[in-house]
Amino acid sequence: MAVRELLVDELGSGERLDVWLANELEGVSRTAAQRLIGSGAVILNGAACTSKSCRLELGDRVLVTREEERQAEGESSLAGSAIPLDVRYERGGVVVLSKQAGLVCHPSPGHEDDTLANALVARYGAAHLGHLQGDERPGIVHRLDRDTTGLMLAARSDEAQGALQDLIRLRELDRRYAVLVQGYVAPETGLIDVGIARSRRDRQRMVASDGERAREAITTFTTLERFEAGATDDGFSLLECHLYTGRTHQIRVHMAHINHPVVGDPVYGQGDARKNLGLTRQFLHSWRLSFDNPETGERLSFADALPHDLQGALDLLADRSLGRTERGALLVPALTGDAAALEEVVAPGLEAKDPRV
């Protein structure tokens, strides 16, 4: 049994119990939260609460009891699927991989056996993965959207999973994304610190908000290259974005908020195909990952060049380049697959100046 006591703060005041629990408990979906509530595992201010729609108030105390649902060793409630994985590093409990487009991270309606979690079970076995996020998400440390590609972490033990999640919580995991956005981004660096909340009108969308239900979200960006306007668009800018928090759709929501939506974004972007350079998904790639291995203390840094479809979009813009910034001159060759530049990128001392300072 795992018991956790939570206190409702100002952001949670007025929120539905199931929605709030899904936000507060790492790795717990809204459906899983509803199951916890319905089973009597949630105590609100000393009394069992079985209403998922109960509205919380500031200062409420919530006690959640979660029972381990491990299967016998070698067994799993989640089927393994022989999905190819591009693993870049595996040592002890720590795994670094590059996720392909179209791969969902964990089971959800319509994706029961074709996810990254299924692929991890097939590769390592369910008994050799971290289960802190539940048996439906073995090995999962953090998520990338289905059509976002690039580097991410996985864990082969509970201990590694907890330690890697702590790196995210303490903002010690350096995650950088290559992002092509609509329009001319004038600043060379920028900070977006607007909160993010779920849309009241469409539960599949997130919105930038300063409202009381919004959760803190911090993104910084560095401009790498700008491209002139064309007959059907207002130009483009290639950015490197740095996440300090990990909210759902964070970069996509923040870029749309500053009127520079991500190219190809089907939810927050521009629908005109001519403005999306032929892309059928968002131009968003987790291209650099740096952290201290919690098991060995070794500093690790990885870089992952753009996949072919995103590289193709940049190729279409090559003749429209207005030039690269100083940082762009250093990073874009690596992004576009130059082996020597990729090697240099993972060397120590390449961190960009933090625009928050």
Residues known to be catalytic: 145
CB atoms within 10 A of CB 354: 11
Residue 138 C-alpha from the chain's centroid: 17
Contact call for residues 266 and 282 (beta carbons, < 8 A)? yes
Supply the DSSP string of 182-244, one letter for each residue. ES----SEEEE---EEE-SS-TT-EEE--STTPBP--EEEEEEEEE--BTTB--EEEEEEEES
Rounded distance between C-alpha atoms, residue 74 and residue 136, angstroms: 15
DSSP letter for 70, please.
P
Phi, psi of 71 (to 5 degrees): -85, 170
User: Which one, of 253, 242, 251, 277, lies nearest residue 263 by Cα?
Assistant: 277
CA angle 131, 132, 133 (to 5 degrees): 90
DSSP letters of 246-269? --TTHHHHHHHHTT-PBTT-TTTS
Structure tokens at 135: 């048996």
CA distance 134 to 202: 27
Per DSSP, what are the bridge partners of residue 243? 175, 219
